[in-house]
Structure 1
Amino acid sequence: MTQKSEHFHGSDLEKIEEIYHVPREEIISFASNVNPIGISPKLRATLAEHIDDITGYPEREYTSLRKSIAEYIDSNFKNIIVGNGSSELISLFIQILKPHKALILGPTYSEYEREVSLAGGTSRYYRLDESRSFSVHVDSLAKQLNESIDLLIICNPNNPTSTAISRSDMRKILDLCKENGIYVLVDETYVEFAEDLNAITSIPLTQYYNNIIVLRGISKFFAAPGLRLGYAVCGNRDLIKSVVGRQDPWSINTLAAVAGEIMFSDTDYISQTRQLIASERERICKKLDTFKDVNYYEPKANFILVKILNDNVTATDVFEAAIQEKMMIRDCSDFPFLDNKYFRFCIMMPEQNDQLLKVIENLLG
C-alpha cells in the first residue's frame, strides 16, 4: 500500500483515485460530513421543472429565498443575507470587520485563520481543553476576551471535535464580548444535525445582540455542496448593508436560489435526516465503547472525533486500512493541537457504518 504523503479532505476523491488507484465513485467518504441520505427527494422531483428559469437573471435581492430561509429558521428575512456558500460570507464579513486580532476556538476549520490573514489581521487560538472533552468553559475563555481582540470565531458544533456550546453559554460569551467591543462570528454548518438543536443554535440571539453573525449553508445537512448556497443571520442591519454593498451582484445562480426554497420546505426529509443521524450516532458510540484502544468525545454533530490509545497505531494506519476497503476517513493530525493519534469520521448509512466500525475494530478493538 502506498504510504499517505499528505492530508486529504472530504472533497479530495480525485487525489485518492490518483494515488491509491481506487475509483472515486466506489469510495465511501466518511471524511466529507455530508448527509448520507443525499439531496432532498422533493428537490430531485421538482428542480427540473424550473430549468427555464435560467433564461433570466436571479432576483437581485433574493427576497423570496430569504423569506423561505426565514420561515425555516424562524427569523426575520431582513436579518438574512445569502451568498455563494458560507465560505463567501465568512470572507465578506471578515473583510468588512477588518479585525486587527481575532481569537479562534480550536482545533477547528483552518479557513477562518486564512481569511483573517487575507484581511490583514492576525489570529490566535483559545485552546479547547481535551481533559474537559474539548468543551468551552466560559470563565476560562473570559480571561482572553479583552479590548485587544476584535473578533471571536466559533464553529458550533465544532469541526473536528463535534462538541457544542449551549445557547445559554453563548449568551454569556456575547455579554463579555459586548463589554469589550468584540464581534462574534458563529459558524453553524453542523447545528442541524444536533439532537438538541434548539439548545445550541444562536439564531434567536441575533434578535437581541448586534455583535453576532450566525452562518449556515446547505453543503452538509442538505447534501448540496455543488449548489454553493449559504446564508448569514445578523440583527445589525448596518453591518448587513455593508456586506451587501461589498458583495458581487447575482452571487447565487437562479437554480440554486430556487433549490433553496424547495429544500428548506421539505419537512419529511429534514425529519428523516435528524432521526437517522440521532439513532446511528447513539448506536456507533455504544459500539466504540466496547473498543479498548480508542477514546471519543461526545458528539453533537454528524461526525465523531476519535483518539487512538494504542502506541503502535496511528491515524495513517486507520486511513490506510479504510482505503483498502474503499472507505475514506479524516486524519486529523493537521488540525491545530491534534496529532497523528486523532481521526474523524462522519455518520453514513447503517450498513456502511458497520463496515467502517469493523475496520476500526480490527485495529483498535
Structure 2
Amino acid sequence: MKIEKHGGNIYKYKGRVLDFSANLNPLGMPPEVKQAVLDGIDEYECYPDPDMRELKEAICRRTGVSTEHICCGNGGDDLIYRIILAFRPEKALLVVPVFSEYEEALKLAECQIDYYVLKEENGFHLDDGIIGQIETGGYDMVILCSPNNPTGIPVEQKKITSIIYACHRSGARMLIDECFMDFVLGEENYTVLPRIESLPNVIILKSFTKLFAMAGLRLGFCLCGSPEDAEAVNGCMQTWPVSTPAAKAGIAALTLTDLEDQTRVLVALEREKLISALLGLGFRTYDSQANYIFFRSVIPLDELLLKHSVLIRNCSNYRGLEGCPEHGEYFYRIAVRTEEENRYIIRALTEILSAEQK
C-alpha cells in the first residue's frame, strides 16, 4: 500500500470512507462561512483584489497585528514555498518529524538542510539541545512547528523565546508554524503571536484550513515580525494569491469569535477519551494537545482499518519516523472527530486487535 504524502486523499477510494487522516474541526465548516461564499457569487466573475485589503483588515482586527505585517496565500503550504523563495536560505535547521512541505520547499531552493530530530525516548518533546545547535550551526533559517505535526505537542513559550533569541544572536530567521495552535487549551502559554511585531526575525504561519474546516477553499496567512519581511513575502506572490470565494469565507470566519473556545473544549474532551481508549487497547500515545493523536502500534493498521472504511495517516514516511516494523514500530496519526465517529474507530481497532490475537 502506497503511503500518502498528506492526509485527506479520500478520492482514491471507492465508496465512502471515514477520514481520520485529515485534521479538521469536527464541527465542520461554519454555516456563516458557507453563506458568505454563496452571498458573494455575483462578484466571482471579476478578478480578486490583488492586495487582499478586506481580508488583511479582518485578520488585523482578529489578531491585533498591523496589516503591513500580514501576508495571505493559497493555503499554508503555498506560503511555505513563498517564504522560502523570498529569503532563499543557504542553510536551514528543520525540527523533525514535521510536515513534508518544508523539506521540499528548502530542497527546491537548493538549501542545505540540517535536522534536529525529536526522540521517542523523550516523548517527542523538544529539548534544550537545539539552542546550542542554532548558535553554532551557521543557519539562515530555523523552522519549527508548534503544535508539531504529527505529534501534536506544542513548545512552551519560554522555550520558544529562548530559540528566537538564539536565532537573533546567530542571524537566523525563524519560521514558526502555528496552524494547529487554535486547538490548544491555554494557547497563551505557547504562542508568541501577540509579540510578533517586536520580533523582527520571526514569521508565524497560520491557516484557515483546520479551525474553520475550509480545506477545499485554500486560505492561509503569515504574520511577519517586520514589514520588510512581509513585503519580501508579498513580492514572491502571484498576482492573485487568494481567490474571492476564499477571501469571503475567511472574512466571515474571522467574525466567529466564540468558535475557538467551543472547538477547544470539544476537542479536549474527545481527545482525552480517544487517548484513554487507545491506551486501553495497548497503544503507545504521546502528549498531543492538538486536534489529532499520534500513537505507536505493534501491528500495521492502515490497511486493516480501510476494511472498516476508516482512513488514517501512516506516519512512516515522515523523516525521523521511519520506524522499525521488524521490532513492532508503526507510527500513526488520527484526527479527533465527533463522539460517534471516535467510538466507531475504537470499535474497529478493538475488532482488529481481537482478530490478531486469535
TM-score w.r.t. the length of structure 1 is 0.90
**1:136/1:165 contact within 8 Å kept:** yes
**2:147/2:154 contact within 8 Å kept:** yes
Aligned partner letter, 2:349: I
Alignment equivalent of 2:223, drawn from 214, 218, 233: 233
* CA deviation vs aligned residue, 1:182-203 (integer Å, no higher than 9, x gap): 1111111111111122222221
How far did residue 118 of structure 1 move?
0.6
Alignment equivalent of 1:81, drawn from 71, 79, 82: 71
Residue equivalent to 1:273 = 263
The alpha-carbon distance between structure 1 residues 64 and 118, as it changes in their structure 2 partners (threshold 3 A), is: same
* CA deviation vs aligned residue, 1:275-329 (integer Å, no higher than 9, x gap): 21111112212222322x3110011111111112x4xx22xxx112211111111
Aligned partner letter, 2:253: M
Aligned partner letter, 2:240: W
How far did residue 161 of structure 1 move?
0.9
Residue equivalent to 1:320 = 303
* CA deviation vs aligned residue, 1:55-101 (integer Å, no higher than 9, x gap): 33333321221111122223222211111111121111111211111
What SS does the corresponding residue of 2:200 show, helix, strand or coil? coil
Counterparts of 1:101-116 in structure 2 under 5 Å?
101-116=91-106
Counterparts of 1:18-37 in structure 2 under 5 Å?
22-23=14-15, 26-37=16-27
Counterparts of 1:285-324 in structure 2 under 5 Å?
285-291=275-281, 293-308=282-297, 310=298, 313-314=299-300, 318-324=301-307
Alignment equivalent of 2:62, drawn from 52, 62, 72: 72
What SS does the corresponding residue of 1:55 show, helix, strand or coil? coil
Aligned partner letter, 1:13: I
**1:8/1:331 contact within 8 Å kept:** no
In the alignment, the residues of structure 2 paired with residue 6 and residue 284 of structure 1 have an alpha-carbon distance, to the nearest angstrom, of 24
**2:3/2:317 contact within 8 Å kept:** no
Alignment equivalent of 1:191, drawn from 177, 181, 190: 181
- The answer to whether the aligner puts 1:331 opposite 2:314 as a matched pair is yes
In the alignment, the residues of structure 1 paired with residue 89 and residue 127 of structure 2 have an alpha-carbon distance, to the nearest angstrom, of 24
The alpha-carbon distance between structure 1 residues 47 and 6, as it changes in their structure 2 partners (threshold 3 A), is: closer
The alpha-carbon distance between structure 1 residues 142 and 364, as it changes in their structure 2 partners (threshold 3 A), is: farther
Alignment equivalent of 2:112, drawn from 122, 128, 132: 122
How far did residue 8 of structure 1 move?
6.1
Alignment equivalent of 2:131, drawn from 136, 142, 146: 142
- The answer to whether the aligner puts 1:9 opposite 2:6 as a matched pair is yes
The alpha-carbon distance between structure 1 residues 53 and 126, as it changes in their structure 2 partners (threshold 3 A), is: same
- The answer to whether the aligner puts 1:175 opposite 2:165 as a matched pair is yes
Alignment equivalent of 1:247, drawn from 217, 221, 237: 237
CA RMSD, 1 decimal: 1.7
Aligned partner letter, 2:70: I
In the alignment, the residues of structure 2 paired with residue 356 and residue 41 of structure 1 have an alpha-carbon distance, to the nearest angstrom, of 27
| Structure 2: runs of 5+ lacking an equivalent | none
In the alignment, the residues of structure 2 paired with residue 234 and residue 67 of structure 1 have an alpha-carbon distance, to the nearest angstrom, of 15
Moved over 6 A (4+): none
What SS does the corresponding residue of 2:211 show, helix, strand or coil? coil
**1:10/1:32 contact within 8 Å kept:** yes
How far did residue 342 of structure 1 move?
0.9
* CA deviation vs aligned residue, 1:136-176 (integer Å, no higher than 9, x gap): 112x1112112521111111111111111012211110001
What SS does the corresponding residue of 1:38 show, helix, strand or coil? coil
**2:36/2:248 contact within 8 Å kept:** no
| Structure 1: runs of 5+ lacking an equivalent | none
In the alignment of these two chains, the number of paired residues is: 347
In the alignment, the residues of structure 2 paired with residue 81 and residue 234 of structure 1 have an alpha-carbon distance, to the nearest angstrom, of 8
What SS does the corresponding residue of 2:142 show, helix, strand or coil? strand
Residue equivalent to 1:355 = 344
What SS does the corresponding residue of 2:241 show, helix, strand or coil? coil
* CA deviation vs aligned residue, 1:32-62 (integer Å, no higher than 9, x gap): 1111221111112343121112233333321
What SS does the corresponding residue of 1:267 show, helix, strand or coil? coil
